[in-house]
Amino acid sequence: MMHPWLEDTWRRLVSLGERMPHALLFVGPAGTGKRDLADALAAAMLCAHPTEDGHACGRCDACLLRLSGNHPDLHLLVPAAQSASPEASSAEEGGKAKSSQIVIEQVRDLQSALGVTAHQGSRRVVIVEPAEAMNTFTANALLKSLEEPPQGCTFLLCSSAPRMLLPTIRSRCQTWAISPPDETALRAWATDKPPELLALARAGGGMPLAAERLAARGMAPHLMRFVRDIGALPGTDPLMLAGQWESWLKSKEAIAAGFDMAQLVDWVQRWVTDLTSIRLGGQVRYFPDHEAVLSAVALRAKVDAMTTCYNDLTRIRRVARHPLNARLMLEDMLLRFARAIGGIKR
């Protein structure tokens, strides 16, 4: 079953039939379903008896092999850290952590596997995800296979950062842009789900699958606290709030949920974006459930000050994952925000 917001893309892919390119590049933000689309397409291409709507039947020998994870003609190029279990990927084996990159040895193993005849039928599929996890040497090694693809082999690359790919890689692929669902589709997706899931999706730019992953990690309560705290400014002392946020980031609940400085800075920047949009007569995108609070704050904010604050936050985001001093970073960020909304005189 395809995600509703990807149905149109799926129909267009299926309609290609024998005109399917030898390499496709699915690009779009994380959490929009690029990998699910690639998996479904790979399943359909390997299936002996696809359904009328182009999906794999799930019952033939090829499907049963794929579902068991043992299909010899389906090849995955993913980082070792991504393919390992959460416990294994967080631990070190033999003193060396699992790689977060797709390494050149994986491409060489793939080329050896593609050098023999397909085991099931005449089709073979290679999924590369995330494609930007390849360094220059790995990408150049894969490029040879893209330039002279084996007979009946299709490459499906997924990337959230296509500009990080070599231009020669991109030029060998047909690019398909995968967009987040619009507000109507997002509401339809969230109909039978907890309300905090929709809030997480909106705060993340409308990425349903990313929101599901965040919710599973326990991120919803942290979003609720963020909105409560940031909405209290400028009435709250930003330096005092910085101290509270430092303790918050160090709490076992935050660590367990993966809530870190980078996520916090990201939410602040999106809050600033909504404030600026209101000030310019636009709509609230990321925090629509809190439009009343945003509107009240926007009345006292100046557009140029909000723009400066947004640019400052962009610079802060670059070092947010490795802050030299978390407390100073939080104080700096919140003081800049407070000044932008008129809470502190320069």
Give burial (CB, 10 Å; 0-12/13-18/19+) of 283: exposed
Q: Write out pLDDT tens, residues 224-253.
A: 999 999 999 888 899 999 999 999 999 999
Tell me what the mean pLDDT of segment 69-97 comes to: 69
How far is residue 140's CA from residue 269's CA, in Å, rounded to a whole number? 37
In this predicted structure, what is the pLDDT of residue 95?
55
- Beta strands (DSSP E) in 162-201 are 174-177
Q: Write out pLDDT tens, residues 29-46.
A: 988 999 999 999 999 999
* Collapsed DSSP state (helix, strand, coil) of residue 224: helix
133 DSSP assignment: G
Closest CA to 341 of 300, 313, 289: 300
Closest CA to 326 of 240, 241, 222, 242: 242
Give burial (CB, 10 Å; 0-12/13-18/19+) of 21: middle
Instruction: Inform me whether the pLDDT recorded for 335 exceeds 70.
Output: yes
For 153, phi then psi, to 5°, come to -105, 130
Buried b (16+ CB within 10 A) or exposed e, 75-90: bbbbbbbeebeeeebe
Instruction: Inform me whether the pLDDT recorded for 120 exceeds 80.
Output: no
In this predicted structure, what is the pLDDT of residue 344?
60
Q: Write out pLDDT tens, residues 204-222.
A: 999 999 999 999 999 999 9
Fold classification of 218-340 is: Zinc Finger, Delta Prime; domain 3 (1.20.272)
What proportion of the chain, given as a percentage, has pLDDT over 70? 93
Type and span of the H or E element at 155: strand 153-159
Residues of the chain with CATH 3.40.50.300: 4-177
Tell me what the mean pLDDT of segment 121-131 comes to: 89
Structure token pair of residue 110: 């793939």
Residues of the chain with CATH 1.20.272: 218-340
* Collapsed DSSP state (helix, strand, coil) of residue 126: strand
Q: Which residue has the higher pLDDT, 17 or 336?
A: 336
Using the structure block, give the residue that is written with the tokens 């995955």.
76
Got the DSSP string for 80-111? HHHHS-HHHHHSEETTEEPPSSB-HHHHHHHH
pLDDT grade for 25, boundaries at 50, 70 and 90:
very high
For 53, phi then psi, to 5°, come to -90, 10
Calculate the average pLDDT of the chain. 90
Instruction: Inform me whether the pLDDT recorded for 51 exceeds 80.
Output: yes
Closest CA to 341 of 306, 296, 292, 290: 306
For 277, phi then psi, to 5°, come to -60, -45
343 DSSP assignment: S
Q: Which CATH number is correct for 4-177, 3.40.50.300, 3.30.365.10, 3.40.50.280, 3.40.50.1980?
A: 3.40.50.300
In this predicted structure, what is the pLDDT of residue 152?
87
What proportion of the chain, given as a percentage, has pLDDT over 90? 73
In this predicted structure, what is the pLDDT of residue 141?
93
Instruction: Inform me whether the pLDDT recorded for 87 exceeds 50.
Output: no
Could you tell me whether strands 92-93 and 153-159 are parallel, antiparallel, or unpaired per DSSP bridges?
unpaired
Structure token pair of residue 76: 């995955």
Q: Write out pLDDT tens, residues 256-312.
A: 999 999 999 999 999 999 999 999 999 999 999 999 999 999 988 889 999 999 999
Structure token pair of residue 66: 């794929």
202 within 8 A of 51, measured Cβ to Cβ: no
